[in-house]
A and B are shown apart, each in its own frame.
Chain A
Amino acid sequence: MRGVSIKARLYILILTILIPLVILQAMGIASKYKQNIDLELNANEDFARAVSFAFTNYLENIWDTEYAIGLALMSHSDVHSAELEEYMRKVSSSQPGMLRYSWLSPEGVVIASVQHKSSGMFLCDRDYVRRINQGEEKVLTGIIEGRLSDHIVMPVARGIWRDRKLIGIVVAAVDVGMIEEVLPRNRAGRTSLFGLIDENGRIVYLSGSSDMAFNERMVRDSSPVWDAFQGKIIRGVYTEKQSDGNLRMGVHMPVSNTGWVCFASITVDEALEKSWQEVERSIWFLLLVVAISLAGVGIISRGFVDSITTLQRAAQSILNGDLTVRTHIKGEDELAKAGKAFDKMADHIEQLEENRRFFLQVSAHELRNPMAGIKGITSIIRRRVDSGKSLEKTLPMIETLEKEVDRLSKLLNQILGAFSAQTGKPQFETHFQPVNIIDVVASALKPFQIEESSHEFIFEIPDIGPLWVTGDPERLEDVFRNLLRNAVKYSPAESRVNVRICSDDTNITILIRDEGIGIPEGQISRVFESFYRGDNFNGSDPGGMGLGLYICRDNILRHGGSVWVENNEGKGCTFHVRLPLLKEKINNN
């Protein structure tokens, strides 16, 4: 799946669900289709059976009549008597399609016949004559062209025996054109057909086409009729050229043991019209389901694929140096959260970059002053040496030179310290020991409490003896000196700086309060960040690296304490340093 987009994966997922569904549905459609074909074939078989039954009945009826005629003929001495002729006429007129009955000698010579004066005709070549002479009693042979009329005739013959001796043959000539009278009618269905085929493969009857010439009646070689002659019931789909060339389905079956075949069929189109409608509906439904699923995938995936693309582009933009880019992904889902986290990260990176640039600027500015001093002093010394002047007066300048070099290295240490604090690695080994915080604060205050000081310092200590903490006294003194320097820097001359120490059971808090400009509300959380610098009391840049408070906080955190600032109600602000009280020391004392 590597290298495949998420969208494609989703489509694959949906397809793995849809494909079995489609296969199941298709199988359902196919089985329904098969069931419908079976039902239709059953209906055709029923009808074909009805045709067979009606036709067999008709034949049996004729054979019974022939037997009666045969008996009558045998009992009359004069076969040409008017009474007998009348009897035969009567019998034949009551049967549909009956042309005549004839009485033949066993050799096939017509002895008597109704309606036609065909006596004396030789019909020895007829198949039925041969078959009856071979011992068959009831014979139905293929249709023939009539000799006495243009009728197509179906001969139905019966041998008349007495004492195992063939006396004569009664033959009925049935008009094939009238055969439909005896068959079932009105088969339902627009394209339904049924019919009867003789032993030679000639159509005796085909529903809907009564006038067929004799030579047009042969069924074609590929017709299922030929298989039905083998005595089997043939069910299935075939093409019937003789009707309309349409694909048809139906049943061909032998007509009892006559050697004939009957059939019933219908076009596949009509039979499956309803099935097709069902199939079509199922296919549309399936397509709809597939389309809705795929559209769903499209819509759902667009949401998060877009989000991912946005994230990816934003990341690329940041890589390319545009730190202002944000994803602005809305919502509550995982991607939105990722987007928000990304935006926060970008904010952070932008802030870091801004800090870095500011840091460089400030560093450059702050380093230039001592560098200018050093360079200037060395130039003056060189000039004086070059011009042969005395260097006696130069000593104070050399002292300044040393101080400026010290200042430069201090600045560098500050910068390095800020960097190491930022990366969280301790640059110095802290030598923690029990420290009386009152001594530390007093020591930090000392340089400020001189006569020429611009500010008034007030130091309030609770009267409870030493307050012990665990820490590095030098680092802690740095912290307080830094905070005091800030108080002076950000408040007007002659104003008061108040230092107070208080404690409870667990903590010591040192408060340094000034009467200066305070801290703008929006910046109160930022003052401990590296490179933050506020404007001083008269609105100008107070100078410095903006690292003091950052290093203060770092130091206090290393001592397990905390530091924060609050603006006073009137003017100025108060810095709070809280350190954990060292209880063992109290108990020892």
Chain B
Amino acid sequence: MGYILIIEDEPAIVMVLQEMLADEGYETRKAYDGLTGLKMLRELPKPDLVLVDLNMPGIRGRDVIEAMRLDDELNDIPVIIITGTVYNSIDFPPEGSYQSIFEKPFELNKLLNRIQELVKAA
């Protein structure tokens, strides 16, 4: 059906996302920090969608998205942000560089619907 990369430092949330997506038949990979996430994007097969947290140790979500948009091979991959951060201009990437944003705690069904839409379109 599709392959989704999860970049998130909270193990519980990674677990939730993986279980949910597995239930729906998606293949998932996980990275607990931004650097690992970027490495996986570049070195492994390209995912159909990326779920990314903003506030992470080391390379943050914003850095990951900006790096993807500058990379020709990763430029087209849709991105959904999942964050607990209250909006601020430092942590948030520019508008248009991502497809959706979900605030924690998010509605699982809504997130799933959005993922399905974006993967289908891709």
Chain A residues in the interface with B (C-beta under 8 A): 361, 364-366, 368-377, 379-380, 383-384, 389, 396-397, 400, 403-404, 536, 538, 540-543
* Contact among A376, A541, A542, A543 for B105, CB-based, below 8 A: A376
Chain B residue with Cβ nearest A401: B12
Pairwise interchain contact A380-B16, C-beta atoms closer than 8 A: yes
Pairwise interchain contact B55-A541, C-beta atoms closer than 8 A: yes
Pairwise interchain contact A400-B12, C-beta atoms closer than 8 A: yes
In the complex, what distance in Å separates the CA atom of A364 from the CA atom of B88? Answer: 14
B76 at the interface (CB under 8 A from A): no
Please name all residues of chain B whose beta carbon is closer than 8 Å to the beta carbon of A538 when the two chains form the complex.
57-58
B10 at the interface (CB under 8 A from A): yes
* Contact among B17, B19, B105 for A374, CB-based, below 8 A: B105
B13 at the interface (CB under 8 A from A): yes
Pairwise interchain contact B104-A372, C-beta atoms closer than 8 A: yes
Pairwise interchain contact A373-B12, C-beta atoms closer than 8 A: yes
Pairwise interchain contact A384-B23, C-beta atoms closer than 8 A: yes
Please name all residues of chain B whose beta carbon is closer than 8 Å to the beta carbon of A389 when the two chains form the complex.
23
Please name all residues of chain A whose beta carbon is closer than 8 Å to the beta carbon of B15 when the two chains form the complex.
373, 377, 396-397, 400
Chain A residue with Cβ nearest B103: A368
B84 at the interface (CB under 8 A from A): yes
Pairwise interchain contact A365-B85, C-beta atoms closer than 8 A: yes
In the complex, what distance in Å separates the CA atom of A371 from the CA atom of B13? Answer: 10
Quote the shortest CB–CB distance from A361 to chain B (angstroms). Answer: 6
Chain B residue with Cβ nearest A383: B23
Please name all residues of chain A whose beta carbon is closer than 8 Å to the beta carbon of B55 when the two chains form the complex.
365, 541, 543
* Contact among B10, B23, B107 for A369, CB-based, below 8 A: B10
- Chain B, 8-22, contact with A by CB distance < 8 Å: what is the 0/1 string? 001111011101100
Chain B residue with Cβ nearest A360: B86
Quote the shortest CB–CB distance from A308 to chain B (angstroms). Answer: 41
Pairwise interchain contact A368-B23, C-beta atoms closer than 8 A: no
Please name all residues of chain A whose beta carbon is closer than 8 Å to the beta carbon of B30 when the two chains form the complex.
none
Pairwise interchain contact B108-A376, C-beta atoms closer than 8 A: yes
Interface residues of B in 34-63 (CB under 8 A from A): 55-58, 60
6 contacts between A and B (CB under 8 A): A369-B10, A376-B16, A376-B105, A377-B15, A380-B19, A380-B20
B26 at the interface (CB under 8 A from A): no
In the complex, what distance in Å separates the CA atom of A540 from the CA atom of B35? Answer: 13
Contacts A365-B84, A373-B16; A383 near B57 (Cβ below 8 A): no
Contacts A365-B86, A380-B20; A372 near B58 (Cβ below 8 A): no
* Contact among B10, B16, B109 for A377, CB-based, below 8 A: B16
Majority DSSP secondary structure for residues of A touching B: helix
Chain A residue with Cβ nearest B35: A538
Q: What is the interface residue range for chain B against chain A?
A: 20 to 34
Pairwise interchain contact B108-A380, C-beta atoms closer than 8 A: yes
In the complex, what distance in Å separates the CA atom of A384 from the CA atom of B19? Answer: 11
Please name all residues of chain B whose beta carbon is closer than 8 Å to the beta carbon of A372 when the two chains form the complex.
10, 12-13, 16, 82, 84, 104-106
Chain A residue with Cβ nearest B111: A376
In the complex, what distance in Å separates the CA atom of A379 from the CA atom of B23? Answer: 12
* Seed contacts A372-B105, A396-B15, A400-B15; 7 additional CB < 8 Å A-B pairs: A364-B86, A371-B105, A372-B10, A372-B104, A376-B16, A376-B106, A384-B23
Quote the shortest CB–CB distance from A122 to chain B (angstroms). Answer: 140
Please name all residues of chain A whose beta carbon is closer than 8 Å to the beta carbon of B20 when the two chains form the complex.
376, 379-380, 383
Quote the shortest CB–CB distance from A487 to chain B (angstroms). Answer: 16
Pairwise interchain contact A536-B57, C-beta atoms closer than 8 A: yes
Pairwise interchain contact B60-A540, C-beta atoms closer than 8 A: yes
Interface residues of B in 81-106 (CB under 8 A from A): 82, 84-86, 103-106
Please name all residues of chain B whose beta carbon is closer than 8 Å to the beta carbon of A400 when the two chains form the complex.
11-12, 15
* Contact among A379, A404, A542 for B12, CB-based, below 8 A: A404
Quote the shortest CB–CB distance from A356 to chain B (angstroms). Answer: 15
Please name all residues of chain A whose beta carbon is closer than 8 Å to the beta carbon of B82 when the two chains form the complex.
372
In the complex, what distance in Å separates the CA atom of A542 from the CA atom of B108? Answer: 27
In the complex, what distance in Å separates the CA atom of A368 from the CA atom of B86? Answer: 10
Contacts A365-B86, A380-B20, A384-B23; A375 near B105 (Cβ below 8 A): yes
In the complex, what distance in Å separates the CA atom of A141 from the CA atom of B106? Answer: 138
* Contact among B13, B56, B108 for A379, CB-based, below 8 A: B108
In the complex, what distance in Å separates the CA atom of A377 from the CA atom of B108? Answer: 9
Please name all residues of chain A whose beta carbon is closer than 8 Å to the beta carbon of B107 when the two chains form the complex.
379
Please name all residues of chain A whose beta carbon is closer than 8 Å to the beta carbon of B11 when the two chains form the complex.
400
* Contact among B17, B84, B86 for A376, CB-based, below 8 A: B17
In the complex, what distance in Å separates the CA atom of A365 from the CA atom of B104? Answer: 9
Contacts A364-B86, A376-B20, A397-B15; A540 near B105 (Cβ below 8 A): no
Pairwise interchain contact A376-B58, C-beta atoms closer than 8 A: no
* Contact among B12, B105, B106 for A403, CB-based, below 8 A: B12
Quote the shortest CB–CB distance from A585 to chain B (angstroms). Answer: 43
Chain B residue with Cβ nearest A377: B16
Please name all residues of chain B whose beta carbon is closer than 8 Å to the beta carbon of A377 when the two chains form the complex.
12, 15-16
Please name all residues of chain A whose beta carbon is closer than 8 Å to the beta carbon of B13 when the two chains form the complex.
369, 372-373, 376
In the complex, what distance in Å separates the CA atom of A424 from the CA atom of B84? Answer: 31
Quote the shortest CB–CB distance from B65 to chain A (angstroms). Answer: 15
In the complex, what distance in Å separates the CA atom of A371 from the CA atom of B108? Answer: 13
